Chain A
Amino acid sequence: MLAKRIIPCLDIKNGRTVKGVNFLNLRDAGDPVALAKQYAENGADELVFLDISATLESRSTTIDMVRNVAEQIDIPFTVGGGVSTKEGVELLLKSGADKVGVNSAAIKRPELVNELSKAFGNQCIVVAIDAKQVDGKWLVHLAGGTIPTDLDLFEWAKEVETRGAGEILFTSMNNDGVKTGFANAALAQLSETVNIPIIASGGAGTIQHFIDVFTDGKADAALAASVFHFGEIAINDLKQELKSNKINIRL
């Protein structure tokens, strides 16, 4: 049976891991390759690297990091953050990334999703969506969640599926960094809306939150950062606990 996936997310800047709380106040949490290796050994099913570098110079450091990660770890990983061109995606895939995440660039020019999935196959195109619930409506945000758009989360998700996304990584900005659980109602609605896998992001604080996101939230995968980076939840313990709650998981 297909297992639910646990995905640590590593935010990368200048070749180092950082994690924002509500996208601000970055804290350093270590060397990405060493962390990646440790997570793979501890039972992570996949990894996501989010490049929050601003400069081109820093981005070339990311390509080196992608190569190093691909050389050393034997589980799949996605790289996202600032990806906006077919050439950029190709370079990441050629450096050893299994999947590439696109976000703002797809909102600005939705045809990019068609072009990428046609060129590289939809299995390696993850569309990341940051959304915030405002007056009961889930609005998609641009640029790491800083700029609101008038796009509706569910309509946008449907659109990127039609355009060839292989997977959706949905981050609830209401939940991100506050550790009170995932946005399960929105996640469950998302799973009803589209027929591609959904990675839930934003809100993990306890093991119970992961149980809830796989049951109530119907997520295919759950992503978290700080609870893993700072050792608040050990992936092995988390997976044991999920298994004893009858959630199908790879041990």
Chain B
Amino acid sequence: MNVIIIDYGAGNIQSIQFAFQRLGINAKLSNSIDEILSADKVIFPGVGEASQAMQMLKKSKLDLLIPTLKQDVLGICLGMQLLCKHSEEGDTKGLGVFDVDVKRFSNAVKVPHMGWNTIQNLQSGLLKGIPEDTYMYAVHSYYASIGKQTIACSKYELEFSAALQSDNFYGVQFHPEKSSKDGAQLLQNFLNL
């Protein structure tokens, strides 16, 4: 299977590559439009700041390509947030695949939300075989609101989208590549979709 991890200069994508390697898949890093178009599955990662990440996408015209992809796409962390309508982080217009906004946690709680938190109301094939209230590892200061496309919730200060789905587009706020065997299960599910 041809899995491409979009490489636009964001964060620790090596870990995602290693996670697929542990599943026996040689995922390739690429920012080439042709390679991404010909992939069976596409991973859209992202760690860092939203407006800067969006700028990097624009530079390589990936902002225009990504929303048009027909194969299964999985946005991880900031990747998921960039697929939303808008982010408060750097007042960034998103790619608009997911019909929710991204907001910052208030200072009523420690920010970033960092560590293992449970996910609930699991609804998609992406989460097949993963029990309710499974712990996943997350680290983020901004969250995607709950909407019609929410396929998993998590709670920190308030309830937010731990995962989203719109047709062939999937997004997870947590890091499956760092979430032990349950995270590996999710990545395997994504390959099986």
Q: Does B48 contact A (CB under 8 A)?
A: yes
Tell whether, in the assembled complex, residue A70 and residue B118 are in contact, meaning their CB atoms are under 8 Å apart. Answer: no
Tell whether, in the assembled complex, residue B107 and residue A123 are in contact, meaning their CB atoms are under 8 Å apart. Answer: no
A45 to B117, CA, bound (A): 11
B110 to chain A, nearest CB (A): 5
A118 to B51, CA, bound (A): 12
Q: Which residues of B contact A3 (CB under 8 A)?
A: 115-117, 135
Tell whether, in the assembled complex, residue A70 and residue B14 are in contact, meaning their CB atoms are under 8 Å apart. Answer: yes
Which of the residues A45, A96, A166 comes within 8 Å of B116, measured between beta carbons? A45
Digitize A61-97: 1 where CB-to-B-CB distance is under 8 Å, 0 elsewhere.
Answer: 0000000001100111000000000000000011111
Q: Which residues of B contact A123 (CB under 8 A)?
A: 47, 112, 114, 139-141
A195 to B156, CA, bound (A): 14
Tell whether, in the assembled complex, residue B47 and residue A76 are in contact, meaning their CB atoms are under 8 Å apart. Answer: no
Query: Which of the segments B60-68, B161-169, B176-184 contacts the partner chain?
Result: B176-184
Which of the residues A2, A40, A71 comes within 8 Å of B18, measured between beta carbons? A71
Within A117-153, the residues touching B (CB, 8 Å) are 118, 120-124
Q: Which residues of B contact A71 (CB under 8 A)?
A: 18, 21
Residue from B22, B113, B180 whose CB has the most chain A CB atoms within 10 Å? B180
SS of A interface (majority): loop
Interface size on B, residues (CB 8 A): 36
Tell whether, in the assembled complex, residue A220 and residue B141 are in contact, meaning their CB atoms are under 8 Å apart. Answer: no
Within B65-114, the residues touching A (CB, 8 Å) are 107, 110-114
Digitize B1-42: 1 where CB-to-A-CB distance is under 8 Å, 0 elsewhere.
Answer: 000000000011011001101100000000000000000000
Q: Which residues of B contact A76 (CB under 8 A)?
A: 137, 139, 175, 178
SS of B interface (majority): mixed
Tell whether, in the assembled complex, residue B177 and residue A74 are in contact, meaning their CB atoms are under 8 Å apart. Answer: yes
Interface size on A, residues (CB 8 A): 33
Q: Which residues of A contact B184 (CB under 8 A)?
A: 74
Tell whether, in the assembled complex, residue A197 and residue B110 are in contact, meaning their CB atoms are under 8 Å apart. Answer: yes
A71 to B21, CA, bound (A): 8
Tell whether, in the assembled complex, residue B15 and residue A196 are in contact, meaning their CB atoms are under 8 Å apart. Answer: no
A167 to chain B: closest residue by CB: B114
B43 to chain A, nearest CB (A): 16
A119 to chain B: closest residue by CB: B48
Q: Does A158 contact B (CB under 8 A)?
A: no
Tell whether, in the assembled complex, residue A70 and residue B112 are in contact, meaning their CB atoms are under 8 Å apart. Answer: no
A69 to chain B: closest residue by CB: B18
Which of the residues A74, A195, A196 comes within 8 Å of B179, measured between beta carbons? A74
Q: Which residues of A contact B137 (CB under 8 A)?
A: 45, 75-76
Q: Which residues of B contact A74 (CB under 8 A)?
A: 19, 22, 177-181, 183-184
A74 to chain B: closest residue by CB: B180
A96 to B183, CA, bound (A): 17
Tell whether, in the assembled complex, residue B11 and residue A166 are in contact, meaning their CB atoms are under 8 Å apart. Answer: no
A166 to B47, CA, bound (A): 13
B29 to chain A, nearest CB (A): 11
A121 to B178, CA, bound (A): 18
A101 to chain B, nearest CB (A): 14
Q: Does A18 contact B (CB under 8 A)?
A: no
Which of the residues B18, B47, B156 comes within 8 Å of A124, measured between beta carbons? B47
Tell whether, in the assembled complex, residue B14 and residue A250 are in contact, meaning their CB atoms are under 8 Å apart. Answer: no
A94 to B156, CA, bound (A): 29
A44 to chain B: closest residue by CB: B180
Residue from B12, B111, B141, B183 whose CB has the most chain A CB atoms within 10 Å? B12
Q: Give 20 A-B contacts (CB < 8 Å), ordered by A residue.
A: A3-B117, A70-B14, A74-B177, A74-B180, A75-B179, A96-B14, A98-B15, A118-B49, A120-B48, A121-B47, A121-B48, A124-B11, A124-B47, A166-B112, A167-B114, A196-B110, A197-B114, A220-B114, A221-B115, A250-B135
* Additional 10 contacts, C-beta under 8 A, given A74-B22, A195-B111: A45-B116, A74-B19, A74-B177, A76-B137, A76-B139, A76-B178, A123-B139, A123-B140, A123-B141, A197-B114
Query: Chain B interface (Cβ within 8 Å of chain A)?
Result: 11-12, 14-15, 18-19, 21-22, 47-49, 107, 110-118, 135, 137, 139-141, 155-156, 175, 177-181, 183-184
For the complex of A and B, 8 pairs with smallest distance between CB atoms: A250-B135, A121-B48, A250-B116, A3-B116, A123-B139, A96-B14, A2-B117, A76-B178
